[in-house]
């Protein structure tokens, strides 16, 4: 009796495991398609340089203290971010399995896209230009998208799946697809203690991966670490780069461009009060930006999120609609092209309330571009821990 049960179980096992005929050895097991390290990468400990965590003193805040939007309920862990990395690169999570988050947030382009508008799973265009994900955690308001329509990063990361142009899924569908892949139970268990797949866990892991993408190793940082404040000349900069830096930091009245008024802190991201208008249009017509998210507040009409300028040389084209192809075009906009929109930022107006004309010399423009290029941390665009694990 016992023997025959064992026999039945044995052949059932053999059938399930697709044994070779006549032997007990299973055929080639499913090869894990992932290339993950034996010991997880470090995502949790950012090892921030001291200029990130110490305020330089005068003027606008330079440190990122108090800017981190990581919620207590979702700290970055190495295993959580590892799971997030796999989800971020997994094409199975779009309707026809052709698109992943990484298709429009390309690591070698500092997690943005060279296309003016990105292509979704059916080749349709996104409404706006893709955004870099670098330093997303230091946007103090913690709201996401150009128009700030996502209230948290955890909320944002589930939206592309459900977007009709981007990935064309339902959340139930995403959970089913994740559950169907052989590589996820182990990753969920390591990240969350058991293999249960929920959209909440998917959101948490993706947000952890994104919050781990921080740029702290640019030429700018090497220079900044050698001086007491951003305003001091950096020993490792060329004279031109230092000139561009001064122009970036100084208010207009002091001969600068007021750039640091909106692109603030060592993360070069807006701290408060949030979305701004930098005068690229005189009137808002088809895209009201944050005015669509907060329609009751006229002041938000035509304002857009000021995302980080870190690695900006790698994220062309520029602005929410990708209208400027080069940094030279961006600088020329601030120099001579600012339009008098009703919500234009005060920093970009003159004493009479008109759009400022900076009247920069060719040398000043070149210097400002040279400075912006010092913000590139090539590690972010190349390090394996943020790269595609499906290879």
Binding to ligand HEC (CB under 6 A) within 279-298 occurs at: 280
Tally of residues, the chain: 391
Which region, judged by CB under 6 A, interacts with ligand HEC, from 18-26, 36-44, 129-137, 183-191?
A: 129-137
Q: How far apart are CA 371 and CA 367, in angstroms?
A: 6
Binding to ligand HEC (CB under 6 A) within 188-247 occurs at: 206, 210
Binding to ligand HEC (CB under 6 A) within 313-352 occurs at: 315, 318-320, 330-331, 334, 345, 347-348
Q: How far apart are CA 87 and CA 184, in angstroms?
A: 9
Q: How far apart are CA 343 and CA 78, in angstroms?
A: 42
Q: Is 32 exposed, middle or buried (0-12, 13-18, 19+ CB in 10 A)?
A: exposed
Helix (H, G, I), strand (E, B) or coil at 333: helix
95 interacts with ligand HEC by CB under 6 A:
no
Which residue's Cβ lies closest to ligand HEC?
345
Total binding residues toward ligand HEC, as defined by CB under 6 A: 52
130 interacts with ligand HEC by CB under 6 A:
yes
Q: How far apart are CA 208 and CA 70, in angstroms?
A: 9
| Cis peptide bond upstream of 163, omega within 30 | no
What are 108's two structure tokens?
């070698």
Binding to ligand HEC (CB under 6 A) within 155-174 occurs at: 156-157, 160-161, 166-167
CA dihedral 309, 312, 315, 317 (to 10 degrees): 90
146 interacts with ligand HEC by CB under 6 A:
yes
Which region, judged by CB under 6 A, interacts with ligand HEC, from 8-16, 131-139, 188-196, 216-224?
A: 131-139
Contact between 316 and 114 under an 8 Å Cβ cutoff? The reply is: yes
- The least distance separating ligand HEC from the CB of residue 55, rounded to whole angstroms, comes to 21
Give contact residues for ligand HEC (rule: CB under 6 A).
Answer: 99, 101, 103-105, 118, 120, 126-128, 130-131, 133, 136, 144-147, 156-157, 160-161, 166-167, 206, 210, 257-259, 261-263, 276, 278, 280, 304-307, 309, 312, 315, 318-320, 330-331, 334, 345, 347-348, 368
């Amino acid at each position: 009796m016992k023997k025959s049960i064992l026999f039945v179980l044995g052949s059932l096992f053999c059938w399930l495991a697709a044994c070779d005929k006549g032997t007990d050895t299973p055929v080639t097991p499913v090869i894990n398609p992932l290339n993950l390290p034996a010991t997880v990468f470090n995502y949790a400990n950012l090892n921030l340089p001291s200029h990130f965590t110490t305020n330089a003193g005068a003027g606008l805040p330079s440190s990122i203290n108090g800017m981190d939007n990581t919620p207590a309920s979702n700290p970055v862990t190495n295993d959580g971010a590892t799971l997030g990395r796999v989800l971020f690169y997994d094409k199975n999570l779009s309707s026809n399995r052709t698109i992943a988050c990484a298709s429009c947030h390309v690591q070698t382009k500092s997690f943005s896209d060279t296309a003016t508008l990105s292509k979704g799973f059916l080749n349709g265009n996104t409404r706006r230009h893709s955004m870099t994900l670098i330093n997303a955690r230091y946007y103090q308001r913690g709201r996401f998208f150009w128009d700030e329509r996502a209230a948290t990063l955890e909320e944002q990361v589930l939206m592309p799946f459900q977007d009709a142009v981007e990935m064309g899924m339902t959340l139930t569908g995403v959970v089913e697809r994740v559950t169907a892949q052989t590589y996820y139970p182990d990753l969920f268990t390591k990240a969350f203690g058991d293999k249960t797949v929920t959209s909440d866990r998917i959101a948490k892991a993706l947000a952890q991966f994104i919050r781990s993408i921080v740029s702290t190793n640019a030429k700018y940082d090497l220079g900044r670490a050698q001086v007491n404040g951003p305003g001091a000349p950096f020993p490792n900069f060329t004279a031109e780069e230092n000139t561009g830096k001064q122009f970036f930091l100084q208010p207009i009245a002091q001969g600068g461009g007021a750039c640091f008024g909106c692109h603030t802190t060592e993360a070069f991201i807006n701290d408060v009060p949030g979305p701004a208008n930098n005068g690229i249009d005189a009137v808002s017509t088809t895209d009201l930006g944050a005015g669509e998210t907060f329609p009751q507040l006229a002041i938000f009409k035509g304002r857009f999120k000021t995302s980080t300028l870190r690695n900006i040389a790698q994220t062309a084209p520029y602005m929410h609609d990708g209208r400027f192809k080069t940094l030279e075009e961006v600088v020329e906009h601030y120099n001579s092209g600012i339009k008098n929109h009703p919500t234009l930022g005060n920093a970009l107006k003159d004493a009479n309330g008109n759009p400022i004309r900076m009247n920069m010399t060719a040398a000043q423009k070149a210097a400002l571009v040279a400075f912006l290029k010092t913000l590139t941390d090539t590690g972010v665009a190349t390090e394996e821990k943020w790269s595609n694990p499906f290879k």
